[in-house]
Amino acid sequence: MNDKEIKKGIIYVGANDAERRIFDELIELPDGTTYNSYLVSGSEKTALIDSVDPSKKDILLSNLKAAGIKSIDYVVSQHGEQDHSGSIPDVLAAYPMAKVVTNSKCRGELADLLMIKEDKFITIEDGGEISLGDKTLKFFFTPWAHWPETFVTYIPEDRMLFTCDFLGSHYATENLYAQSNDEILIPAKRYYAEIMSPFRSMIRKNLEKIKVLDVDIVAPSHGPLHKGMDFITGYYSQWASDDVKNEVTIAYISMHGSTGKITRYFIESLEKKGMKVHAFNLADADIGDIAMALLDSATAIIGSPMVLAGPHPKAIFIAYLLKALRPKTRFLSVIGSYGWGGKLVEQLAEMLGSLGAEIIEPVLVKGYPKEADFKMLDELAEKIRAKHQELGLS
Ligand code: FEO
């Protein structure tokens, strides 16, 4: 197991889940994932930082056994979601003297979700610490990365920062570290886009909070560890900023070809005007790819035909997703087609209203697009170009 030694007295005891292809029954996992758990042995006490998904609890317990761990004093639970907390009851059963160290919010979640008894908890405060002897666990609350209770743990003696979901990636690997920054950039971006982007103002505050720490190794609870903090926090700062690019994300669906033709024409028109377009056919799009494109796009467009007097259900899904991801997109619009009428635009506009983006007059086409419709699409593309230009984008 010592090939998994990170620093003297700190070993990786987590589990790889390379075969997993979906998370939350929603997010696709093209690269699988890992559930990282770390055992920290000080001169006097031992702590486990996060556990693993319940499906991999046997691996965690067997890693602890293989490492010769006879007792655990503390199980630090940095986040209540079950992919990190779900095996804590099994760890407590195997190591009955262990106490769960967490904040009051997470304590409530663990009591509700896992029925962990009240007397098993030690509750920490922001900035609090616990000594393991020659190592200290210092806790810093980093809320909304991505639940309200999330916090990070810092060991100053080893300059290690444990961040749970924050700064992580769904990327299965047997290696502790990625072979290069390039290997992990897209998985980390996808992870940020899907999980963290709705909370970017909190992410910015959390980045400020941790940047004062002297960090040699960042140890998230998904994906490889990072040597130093600059690479990953640099990208997080960029993704969480208000900056947008001269880019348009279009998510569309077409049933009989009209909206498909409209979308293809519109993409060409936008590109001719110098904008980069990320187009996704909702028939088979990966929402992680859409979430990543939205990180940079100044404008988002939904393309939909009318179905039963309203948007296609897949267009409703993407509008809901936009609402959930709360991208920094400044402008929104709708393109699509209809046969005899309905409230496609009204329904989507109502869903998207809370995003605070400006809705540019949509283009809805009756039947298959004709010359006058292409002209309206060109006009919409021109309006978007002008709006981008006003923002100084080119
Ligand atoms: Fe990886 Fe929010 O759990």
Same domain, yes or no, for 169 and 27?
Answer: yes
The pLDDT of residue 315 is: 97
CATH number of the domain that residue 51 is part of: 3.60.15.10
The pocket around ligand 1, CB under 6 angstroms, is made up of 79, 81, 83-84, 146, 165, 222
Is residue 390 situated within a structural domain? no
pLDDT digits (tens, 9 = 90+) for 21-79: 999 888 899 999 999 999 999 999 999 999 999 999 999 999 999 999 999 999 999 99
Same domain, yes or no, for 94 and 218?
Answer: yes
What percentage of residues in the chain have a pLDDT greater than 90? 94
Alpha-carbon distance of 117 to 134, in angstroms, equals 30
Report the nearest-CA residue for atom 2 of ligand 1: 81
- Would the pLDDT of 137 be above 60? yes
The pLDDT of residue 24 is: 87
Same domain, yes or no, for 220 and 262?
Answer: no
Is residue 367 situated within a structural domain? yes
Structure tokens at 115: 């029925």
Same domain, yes or no, for 220 and 264?
Answer: no
Same domain, yes or no, for 253 and 235?
Answer: no
pLDDT digits (tens, 9 = 90+) for 311-339: 999 999 999 999 999 999 999 999 999 99
pLDDT digits (tens, 9 = 90+) for 248-272: 999 999 999 999 999 999 999 999 9
Residue 35 CA: nearest ligand 1 atom is 1
What percentage of residues in the chain have a pLDDT greater than 70? 99
Residue 82 CA: nearest ligand 1 atom is 3
Report the nearest-CA residue for atom 1 of ligand 1: 165
Same domain, yes or no, for 323 and 342?
Answer: yes
Is residue 53 situated within a structural domain? yes
| Average pLDDT of the chain to the nearest whole number | 96
Same domain, yes or no, for 95 and 212?
Answer: yes
Is residue 392 situated within a structural domain? no
Query: How far away, in angstroms, is 330 Cα from ligand 1 center?
Result: 29
Contacts of 147 by beta carbon, 8 Å cutoff, 6+ apart = 79, 80, 81, 109
pLDDT digits (tens, 9 = 90+) for 224-252: 999 999 999 999 999 999 999 999 999 99
- Would the pLDDT of 3 be above 80? no
Q: Residue 288: give the domain boundaries.
A: 248-385
- Of 217, 240, 263, the one marking the end of a domain is 240
The H-assigned helical ranges of 220-358 are 230-240, 258-272, 287-294, 313-325, 344-352
SS3 of residue 74 by DSSP: strand
Query: How far away, in angstroms, is 374 Cα from ligand 1 center?
Result: 45
The pLDDT of residue 389 is: 97
Is residue 350 situated within a structural domain? yes
Closest to 152 measured CA to CA, from 207, 108, 195:
207
Query: How far away, in angstroms, is 375 Cα from ligand 1 center?
Result: 47
